[in-house]
Amino acid sequence: MRSHRLFLIILLLSFWVSSVTAKTNYWYSYVPKQVFATQVFPITIFADTDDSNNLPTFKFDANNAIKPLNSHPIKDTNGGNTFYTFYFKAEKNDIKIPSFTIIDKEETVLLESRYVPVRELDISGHDEFCGLIATSCKIVTSQVSEFDAENNLVSLTLKASEANPEEITTAGSIESGIEKITKTGSDTIIEYYFVIPSSQKSVTSSYYNTLQNRFVSKTISTDYKDKPVAAQENLNPKDSSFDKLKKYGLSFLSLFFFWMFWKKKDIFFLVLLAICVIILLTMFSPHEKVCVQEGAPLYILPTETSTTGGQIDRELTTDILNQRGNYYKIAYEHNIIGWIKDEDTCKD
């Protein structure tokens, strides 16, 4: 009898010791000590396994209004360990990260909520700050076109990491906006535009780099005449300097070949003359016309999310300066340039 009691005591003690000494497979790997208002920041959970078949389920406290930006975590493996990262966006007040319930095939783990202090970024002395807070940012492409008689349109493609693209603005711009945001993991591709007076030849903007803890400035040319032809030809309806040079060159060659044919009476020069004339006729041929309905919106860029820059106040027929998909580029009154949808053209 005494031996049975001793056995039960030892058994209970063993269960108690195992429950006390057992370590959970999940815990917080990274929680920032402080973030800035509007900043996008990561919360990383560590798992001491790289079992690809062990795919945990993450459930968040339904009573907490704070939710991660990504519904599924970004998974990284390193050696025998796995890291799961969720991203949150800070508001003006301290943020309470919701508690996590992690369920996998072996256990259910509850990670308690955490408070992250939030403070305002001190931008004094940085009037060019564009509102972007990120770990990195670079300009992938830059295009400039004539928006109207007095302003230029600048279109940028930006690539940033752990960024808050919705906050981007450009100091001194007449109008600005986000055309498209594409997120892949921690990276974000941002299609952004702004309208600036044509008298202003460049814009300097800065973003705050959270890894370097400093403002990083970038200068962007806003003079479309300084841009290469490839950057202009899709947006600028007017002839570039290179196009004019080609026309002058072909005209000169046509006269030269005509003179050589008249002097040498060689059919070879007549063939060259004919080729030059055909090319010139193609280059000087009038634009195709399009009829635009009254009330049609005039878009700044040929995208579904583009901001409208105005409205056609009457039915008109005008030249098609360019075409992208189901969008036509036209010139409206007062040299206003914009895009209209095919659905807004006159239908017979």
Residues 144-200 pLDDT 10s? 877 777 888 888 999 999 999 999 999 889 888 888 899 988 999 999 999 899 899
pLDDT in tens, 244-298: 677 778 788 888 888 888 888 888 888 888 888 888 777 666 667 888 888 888 8
pLDDT in tens, 323-332: 777 888 887 7
For residue 16, is it within any domain?
Answer: no
Residue 209 sits in a domain whose CATH number is 2.60.40
pLDDT level of residue 216 (50, 70, 90 thresholds): very high
Residue 74 sits in a domain whose CATH number is 2.60.40.10
Whole-number mean pLDDT of the chain?
81
- Range with lowest mean pLDDT among 24-38, 79-93, 104-118, 285-299: 285-299
Rounded-to-integer distance, Cα 324 and Cα 345, Å: 15
User: Which range of residues forms the domain containing residue 329?
Assistant: 289-344
DSSP string, 273-293: HHHHHHHHHHHHSPPPEEEE-
Classify strands 327-331 and 337-341 as parallel, antiparallel or unpaired.
Answer: antiparallel
Residue 294 sits in a domain whose CATH number is 2.30.30.40
Residues 266 and 314 in one domain: no
For residue 198, is it within any domain?
Answer: yes
Global pTM reads: 0.65
Instruction: Using a pLDDT cut of 90, give the percent of the chain over it.
Output: 30
Q: How many CB atoms lie within 10 A of CB 81?
A: 13
Q: What region does 254 belong to: left with phi over 0, alpha with psi -120 to 50, or beta?
A: alpha
Q: What region does 283 belong to: left with phi over 0, alpha with psi -120 to 50, or beta?
A: alpha
Instruction: Using a pLDDT cut of 70, give the percent of the chain over it.
Output: 82
Give the torsion sign (CA, 133, 139, 141, 143): positive
For residue 7, is it within any domain?
Answer: no
Only one residue has tokens 């459930």, namely 59
Record the tokens describing residue 28, joined without a space: 């917080």
Residues 170 and 226 in one domain: yes
Q: How confident is the model at residue 177, as a pLDDT? A: 86
Detail the DSSP E strand segments found in 98-251. 100-103, 108-111, 114-116, 118-119, 129-134, 136-146, 151-161, 175-184, 187-197, 202-209, 214-221
